[in-house]
């Protein structure tokens, strides 16, 4: 534990000497909302309404950025202090409603003293002046690109960039103000609302029209070209690519309007104000559905060993997340199967329609491996926690094809018409909100006209994969521990 506030440190020392520390000033401690997979992630007692994040980048992606994060929140219980998630930065000062506040860093929490007890329902504004460090050893958060930075905050790395309530259950509106050398380009989630050049620097301001989970935040700074076009219904599209790759990327970028139309035909209108592809010259090992601006590795589009339909299906996967995961956001990280299962489902459907990858064959192969996946990582709706130091370990095959397999079984059970209706109802009734597995089971039952709790329990929580409706001949392989499948 480190204490960064001299006043708070003095109070604690005085209380200790009087033997009154437990009664007078309880020591700051890390808190969490009790997520089974990330127990210390998120914080109780308040709801963030909006973030305003100002970042100043000097042009060297090895150096920390200066930052000011302002959090507008409403308390949900009586509070004397507020815990924020924050790591990989130095806090210089904190104010609460404009007044200087004491603060302390405890593990990956920043504990802010409110100065007086605050009742539930009170609006508070917390401003944190800090640095934001793109540390080379950080797992997630800032990603160093060949010409600058981008963000990859899933699952619990936004607090490695800015102080926040870093859990998807607490969505909020975001404004980003990014100052950088004027020969660079800064982009972020949402629409650009201002661009001001002052001497050798420029400041870009972006604001999202809808609430967003912290894990979906995106800021990219670099020598970028911003390519604009129009999608369905006049939707403004914005792609961001390295300047040197502008022409090389165009054959891929121009596919997005068609991908949008394809998704809208299946689940309804795209739920956000803009969309686009962010191509980062970096090696991450993944692509990411950052809200309104999906992050892709440059290498995905420059490989020559992958068929075109396969690359497009990955693009559709990240786009599908904007309905499943971004608009409808998981209430807990164990609900991740809903996000990834649906994104994988539409990826597989697109691959079937445009390539040589039949959905049934992919699901049969997934069924064969399902018991092994469940043994290794847990069932889809009750995944095992990641190993210490492996925060990305949550993203196992069971939450991708293993969860798409749940959807395939559900469609087999209730029929294609009811299944398609369920998909549309899910993204409509929970649009721009949070929802969990119980909500999905309840809506599926309502759509089907019968209680599906028993049917889905085994598919979502069973150690062994249930029999597949309509395919009694499908068999699973034994887990590697030798137990029979």
Q: 3-state DSSP call for residue 481?
A: coil
Partners of residue 78 on adjacent β-strands: none
Does the structure show a pLDDT above 80 at 221? Answer: yes
- Which stretches does DSSP call E strand in 312-402? 328-330
Does the structure show a pLDDT above 50 at 37? Answer: yes
Q: What is the model's pLDDT at position 13?
A: 36
Q: What is the model's pLDDT at position 14?
A: 37
Given 3-state DSSP classes, what are the helix, strand and coil percentages for the chain, each rounded to the nearest 5?
35, 30, 40
User: From CA 107, how far away is CA 365, in angstroms rounded?
Assistant: 43
- Which stretches does DSSP call E strand in 97-146? 99-100, 103-106, 109-118, 123-132, 141-145
| Contacts with 327 (C-beta within 8 Å, 6 or more apart), sequence order | 210, 271, 272, 427, 430, 431, 432
Q: Name the pLDDT band for 387 (thresholds 50, 70, 90).
A: confident
Domains and CATH numbers, the chain: 46-75+119-310 (2.60.40.1730), 328-461 (1.10.390.10)
Q: In the β-sheet with 123-132, what is the strand arrangement from edge to edge?
A: 99-100, 91-96, 123-132, 65-75, 46-56, 173-181, 201-207, 191-198
pLDDT tens for each residue of 225-234: 999 999 999 9
Q: What is the pTM for the complete model shown?
A: 0.92
- Between the two ends of the chain, the Cα-to-Cα distance in Å is 47
Q: Name the pLDDT band for 20 (thresholds 50, 70, 90).
A: very low
User: From CA 47, how far away is CA 165, in angstroms rounded?
Assistant: 8
Partners of residue 105 on adjacent β-strands: 2, 110
């Amino acid at each position: 534990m480190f204490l960064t506030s001299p006043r708070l440190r003095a109070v604690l020392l005085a209380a200790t000497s009087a033997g009154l520390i437990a009664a007078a000033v309880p020591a700051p401690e890390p808190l969490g909302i009790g997520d089974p997979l990330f127990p210390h992630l998120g914080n109780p007692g308040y709801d963030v309404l909006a973030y305003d994040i100002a970042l100043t980048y000097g042009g060297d992606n090895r150096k920390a950025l200066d930052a000011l994060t302002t959090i507008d929140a409403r308390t949900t219980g009586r509070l004397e202090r507020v815990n924020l998630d924050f790591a990989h930065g130095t806090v210089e000062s904190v104010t609460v409603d404009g007044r200087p506040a004491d603060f302390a860093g405890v593990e990956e929490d920043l504990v802010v003293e409110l100065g007086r007890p605050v009742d539930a329902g009170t609006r508070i504004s917390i401003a944190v002046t800090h640095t934001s460090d793109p540390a080379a050893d950080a797992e997630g958060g800032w990603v160093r690109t060949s010409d600058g930075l981008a963000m990859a905050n899933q699952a619990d790395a936004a607090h490695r960039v800015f102080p926040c309530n870093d859990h998807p259950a607490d969505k909020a509106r975001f404004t980003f103000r990014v100052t950088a050398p004027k020969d660079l380009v800064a982009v972020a989630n949402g629409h650009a609302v201002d661009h001001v050049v002052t001497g050798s620097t420029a400041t870009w301001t972006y604001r999202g029209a809808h609430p967003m989970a912290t894990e979906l935040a995106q800021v990219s700074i670099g020598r970028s070209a911003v390519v604009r076009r129009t999608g369905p219904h006049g939707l403004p599209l914005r792609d961001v690519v390295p300047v040197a790759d502008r022409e090389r990327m165009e054959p891929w970028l121009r596919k997005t309007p068609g991908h949008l139309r394809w998704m809208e035909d299946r689940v309804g209108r795209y739920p956000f104000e803009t969309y686009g592809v962010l191509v980062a010259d970096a090696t991450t090992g993944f692509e990411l559905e950052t809200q309104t601006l999906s992050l892709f590795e440059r290498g995905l589009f420059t490989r020559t060993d992958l068929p075109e339909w396969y690359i497009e299906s990955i693009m559709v996967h990240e786009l599908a997340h904007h309905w499943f995961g971004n608009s409808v956001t998981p209430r807990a990280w164990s609900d991740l199967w809903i996000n990834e299962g649906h994104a994988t489902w539409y990826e597989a459907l697109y691959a079937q329609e445009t390539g040589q990858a039949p959905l049934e064959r992919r699901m049969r192969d997934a069924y064969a491996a399902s018991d092994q996946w469940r043994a290794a990582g847990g069932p889809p709706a009750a995944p095992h926690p990641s190993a210490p130091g492996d925060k990305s370990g949550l993203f196992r095959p069971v939450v991708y094809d293993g969860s798409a397999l749940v959807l395939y079984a559900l469609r087999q059970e209730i029929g294609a018409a009811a299944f398609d209706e369920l998909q549309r109802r899910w993204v409509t009734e929970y649009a721009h909100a949070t929802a969990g597995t119980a909500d999905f089971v309840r809506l599926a039952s309502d759509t089907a006209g019968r209680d599906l709790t028993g049917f889905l329990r085994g598919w979502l929580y069973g150690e062994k994969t249930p029999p597949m409706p309509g395919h009694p001949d499908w068999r699973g392989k034994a887990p590697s521990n030798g137990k029979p499948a």
